[in-house]
Amino acid sequence: MVIGLSSGSVDKLVGTGVIMSGAAADDMDVEVYVLLTAARAFIKGNEDLTDSLVEYPHLKSEFFANMEKLAVPTWLEFFEQAKEFTDVKIYICSLAGKLWGGEKKEDFIDIVDGLCGIGQYIDAAKEADIHINI
């Protein structure tokens, strides 16, 4: 499975984590290509930011309250969990990284496997059985 993740909105990050978990339960290999605004969340120190719920800002407090009530893991916990279960690779688009001040792998949180160019994403999407764009 290949996921192109462009949104840095917390609900989209959580949604991506849920999909990755489902794929992990099926032993599917997953590659996540982190593009544009999504890269901001992967910069070291940004992983706990909750300032972004872009599409539905008026639902933000309800979203977080219900997440807590239902004991839903954070987006990062979902990503880490998926990595424990299956082969998950996370690549940051080099342009997206630069947009938020990340130029090297060390600038990003530990779950990131490396930086990539858009060509790598296109090739992976072309080869994948399932390609999801978020």
Partner 1 sequence: MNEQELKALEVNKSVDARGTACPGPLLEAKKAIGTIKSGDIMEVLSADEGTRVDIPKWCTKQGHEYLGTVEESGFFKIYMKKN
d(CA 23, CA 26): 5
> Is 18 among the residues that bind partner 1 (CB under 8 A)?
yes
For partner 1, the binding residue among 85, 99, 111, 128 (CB under 8 A) is: 85
> Is 68 among the residues that bind partner 1 (CB under 8 A)?
no
Tokens in use for 107?
Answer: 């600038």
> Total residues at the site for partner 1 (CB under 8 A)?
13
Comparing CB distances to partner 1, the nearer of 36 and 72 is 72
For partner 1, the binding residue among 7, 9, 16, 21 (CB under 8 A) is: 21
Nearest CA among 65, 88, 70, 71 for reference residue 17? 88
Report residue 9 CA to chain centroid gap.
10
Residue 108 contacts residue 85 (beta carbons within 8 Å): no
For partner 1, the binding residue among 6, 74, 81, 120 (CB under 8 A) is: 81
> Is 62 among the residues that bind partner 1 (CB under 8 A)?
no
Residue 38 contacts residue 100 (beta carbons within 8 Å): no
Tokens in use for 37?
Answer: 């605004």
Span interacting with partner 1, options 23-31, 32-40, 45-53, 117-125, rule CB under 8 A? 23-31
Q: Which residues bind partner 1 (CB under 8 A)?
A: 18, 21-22, 24-27, 70-73, 81, 85
